[in-house]
């Protein structure tokens, strides 16, 4: 543990454990004391705005570093609604007077500036196995829907036969169809691989799609999927789901005729809560890592009965519903 001395007093110490700010305010969490006395009040000030911490809490972890500290009740967490881009000052009231500290950003090596990460989507592994088998691969959502999107057929050439399926006709699309009824277009047990990238969240009934993927894959075939988790709403009205890697493991589980080869989450993000909800535990919401995307690589191990997964979804209704997905735009 490290502590920063006040420039006003060599016996004043404080540490900022957590800090976030946006256009609406700033949140500071940490501890402070002076002359080995706990603070009587903690304030946060920026320009004309000022607020006081509602309570001070115990920090027993300080005792080994400050054995002469009379009380370890010197922890605080305070949120100040204020205009952005102004200096922020922490005011620490003690029995010996009020001390002020400039609130600065966390150092580059602070743990909060080193969010957790995970291995990336194993596209190369999937492609390599497909090429080794010289297999037939189908991509659900094969159309390029954003300026940065690319068609994937070339990545499997020349060893593999590639089939692109999408709800809209477009370059790279071989079959215009509904993934909920994939076996209407592809023979059962005929594919070596099925993949999709940022598509499952746009499918109304992904459990039916997982069943259809099982139906069209050969035993031992691979399926690879990436989906958003902590991600903005997009491509309305056909934005239905968010899934973690654990959710994908359920979708492609042994009960669904698959074994999970690998799964993970990628692309750490932080989320800001609306100013109207900033109280209590929600003030720490911005400090917890979210992950933008989740992925899974699974292998088919067994066939499922035709009626293993059921849902009252009519083909014509589902197809028209799917076509509500924008024919142009970012996905």
User: What's the pLDDT tens digit per position in 123-143?
Assistant: 999 999 999 999 999 999 998
Q: Which class for 283: exposed (0-12), middle (13-18), buried (19 or more C-beta within 10 A)?
A: buried
Confidence bin at 4 (pLDDT 50/70/90):
very low
**Above 80 in pLDDT, residue 111?**
no
Q: How many CB atoms lie within 10 A of CB 106?
A: 14
SS3 94: strand
pLDDT digits (tens, 9 = 90+) for 21-76: 999 999 999 999 887 888 999 999 999 999 999 899 999 999 999 988 889 999 99
Give CA torsion, residues 320, 326, 330, 331, to 10 deg. -10
* Average pLDDT score over the chain: 88
Cβ-contact 48, 32 below 8 angstroms: no
**Above 70 in pLDDT, residue 118?**
no
- The 3-state secondary structure of 124-165 reads HHHHHHHHHHCCEEEEECCCCCCCCCCCCHHHHCCCCEEEEE
Confidence bin at 114 (pLDDT 50/70/90):
low
Rounded CA-CA distance 30/39 in Å is 12
Rounded CA-CA distance 162/186 in Å is 12
pLDDT recorded at residue 245: 96
User: Does domain 123-322 fall into CATH 2.60.120.560?
Assistant: no
The yes-or-no answer to whether 4-113 and 123-322 have a common fold is: no
pLDDT digits (tens, 9 = 90+) for 188-244: 999 999 999 999 999 999 999 999 999 999 999 999 999 999 998 888 998 999 999
pLDDT recorded at residue 327: 76
β-strands 89-94, 41-46 pairing: antiparallel
pLDDT recorded at residue 3: 42
φ and ψ of 50, to 5 deg: -155, 140
Rounded CA-CA distance 202/143 in Å is 14
pLDDT recorded at residue 284: 85
Residue 175's H or E segment, with its range, is strand 175-176
Higher pLDDT, 294 or 281: 294
Residue with tokens 């309570």: 55
DSSP 103: -
What is the third-level CATH fold of 4-113? Immunoglobulin-like (2.60.40)
Cβ-contact 62, 38 below 8 angstroms: no
SS3 250: helix
**pTM for this model (two decimals):** 0.76
Confidence bin at 7 (pLDDT 50/70/90):
very low
User: Percentage of the chain surpassing pLDDT 70?
Assistant: 90
Domain ranges of the chain: 4-113, 123-322
Rounded CA-CA distance 23/27 in Å is 12
């Amino acid at each position: 543990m490290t502590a920063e001395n006040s420039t006003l007093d060599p016996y004043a110490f404080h540490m900022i454990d957590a800090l976030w700010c946006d256009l609406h305010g700033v949140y500071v969490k940490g501890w402070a004391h002076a002359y080995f006395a706990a603070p009587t009040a903690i304030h946060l000030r920026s320009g004309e705005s000022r607020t006081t911490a509602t309570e001070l809490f115990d920090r027993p972890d300080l005792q080994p570093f400050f054995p002469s500290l009379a009380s370890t009740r010197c922890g605080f967490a305070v949120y100040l609604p204020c205009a952005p881009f102004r200096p922020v000052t922490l005011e620490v009231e003690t029995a010996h007077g009020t001390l002020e500290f400039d609130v600065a950003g966390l150092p580059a090596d602070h743990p909060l500036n080193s969010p957790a990460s995970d291995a990336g989507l194993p596209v190369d592994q999937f492609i390599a196995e497909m090429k080794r088998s010289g297999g037939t691969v189908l991509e659900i959502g094969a159309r390029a829907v954003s300026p940065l999107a690319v068609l994937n057929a070339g990545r499997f050439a020349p060893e593999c036969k590639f089939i692109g399926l999408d709800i809209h006709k477009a370059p790279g699309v071989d079959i215009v169809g509904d993934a909920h009824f994939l076996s209407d277009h592809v023979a059962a047990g005929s594919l070596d691989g099925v993949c999709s990238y940022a598509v499952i969240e746009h499918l109304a009934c992904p459990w039916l799609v997982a069943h259809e993927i099982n139906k069209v894959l050969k035993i031992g075939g691979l399926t690879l999927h990436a989906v958003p988790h902590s991600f903005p709403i997009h491509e309305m009205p056909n934005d239905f789901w968010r899934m973690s890697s654990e959710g994908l493991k359920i979708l492609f589980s042994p009960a669904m005729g698959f074994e999970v080869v690998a799964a993970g989450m990628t692309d750490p993000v932080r989320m800001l809560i609306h100013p109207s909800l900033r109280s209590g535990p929600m003030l720490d919401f911005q400090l917890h890592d979210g992950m933008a995307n989740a992925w899974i690589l699974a292998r088919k191990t067994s066939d499922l009965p035709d009626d293993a997964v059921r849902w009252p979804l009519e083909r014509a209704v589902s197809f028209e519903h799917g076509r509500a997905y924008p024919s142009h735009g970012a996905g």
